[in-house]
């Protein structure tokens, strides 16, 4: 896990070496994370890694009043 904070942006990246779930989930998962990032004018990416594993990354703007 990597968390990076700059004055104007918060970056979060999580990776694993797993093989993914064995059954379909019941939540909104990646779709929900993508929608929430978009609501904050952020960027979101998720997908399999070369050689196995999975990566989820988000970059979210820091509101001016929080700087």
pLDDT of residue 19: 72
pLDDT value at residue 18: 81
> Of all helices (H) and strands (E), which one includes residue 35?
helix 29-39
Q: Which two tokens stand for residue 66?
A: 């929080």
pLDDT tens per residue, range 8-63: 999 999 999 987 666 666 678 999 999 999 999 999 999 999 988 999 999 999 99
Give me the half-sphere count of Cα atoms (radius 13 Å) on the Cβ side of residue 13: 9
pLDDT band, very low/low/confident/very high, at 6 (cuts 50, 70, 90): very high
What is the rounded distance in angstroms from the CA atom of residue 67 to the CA atom of residue 46?
A: 28
Q: How far apart are the first and last CA of the chain?
A: 24
| pTM tops 0.85, yes or no | no
């Amino acid at each position: 896990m990597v968390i990076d904070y700059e004055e104007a942006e918060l970056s979060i990246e999580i990776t694993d070496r797993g093989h993914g779930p064995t059954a379909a989930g019941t939540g909104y998962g990646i779709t929900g994370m993508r929608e929430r990032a978009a609501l904050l004018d952020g960027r979101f990416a998720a997908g399999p890694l070369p050689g196995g594993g999975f990566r989820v990354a988000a970059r979210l703007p820091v509101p001016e009043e929080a700087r």
